[in-house]
Amino acid sequence: MTIRVLLADDQALLRGTFQMLIDSCDDLEVVAEAADGAQAIALARVHHPDVVVMDLRMPGTDGLTATETICADPALTGTRVLILTTFENDEHVARALRAGASGFLGKYVTTDALLAAIRTVASGDSLLSPGATKALITQFLATPPPRAAAPPAAAPGIRDLTDREREVMRMAADGRTNDEIAKELHLSVLTVRSHVQRAMAKVGARDRAQLVVVAYKNGLVSPDAP
């Protein structure tokens, strides 16, 4: 199965470089290119790509706004966004995840890392490492934005989680990989992955990163816990 990619970056030379790199892989294909966020939104609605590789800073509609719009579109539930930018800091990562992004990379990454990231995001997994995910969620996402007047309501499906799904969800939010969870719970990695996927489906999380966000926001894990 070929992973269909939309490139969104205001630098034509960089888009061209990425296109040649991606199209050189048998399992990847660039279906469209966008020079700004507005084009990225429009082209995503036309092509329904599996992954949008999105720059943050573009003229007009920026990458964060485009990411939020794409991730909120019911017609694009199968499209995931990978943020790729030179402006890499914790605040940008937090804002990108709040907007609905599935992953975040700096443009300094190697070509192999970029290709692996596209495949990872397309598979529904979070691109962020477990340790980075925990630190990020704890510092930024466990606390509602300043404009929020009240804590968010419980995510739909939280009460439908089985005890095992809650346990796996907590461990994922604590930064453990599927392999680590499987070893600790004496389960197969495939079984752990199934629990993660069922939990994602029940709470409406697009990927593992958002599952971690839901766990913190709904009190399954405390940011103050050791």
Segment 128-141, tens digit of pLDDT: 654 455 555 555 55
Span 99-113, pLDDT tens digits: 788 887 777 778 888
Q: For 49-91, how does the pLDDT look when each residue is reduced to its tens digit (9 = 90+)?
A: 999 999 988 889 989 899 999 999 999 988 999 988 765 555 6
Going along the chain from its start, the domains and CATH numbers come out as: 3-127 (3.40.50.2300), 140-217 (3.40.50.2300)
pLDDT for the residue numbered 149? 43
d(CA 207, CA 217): 16
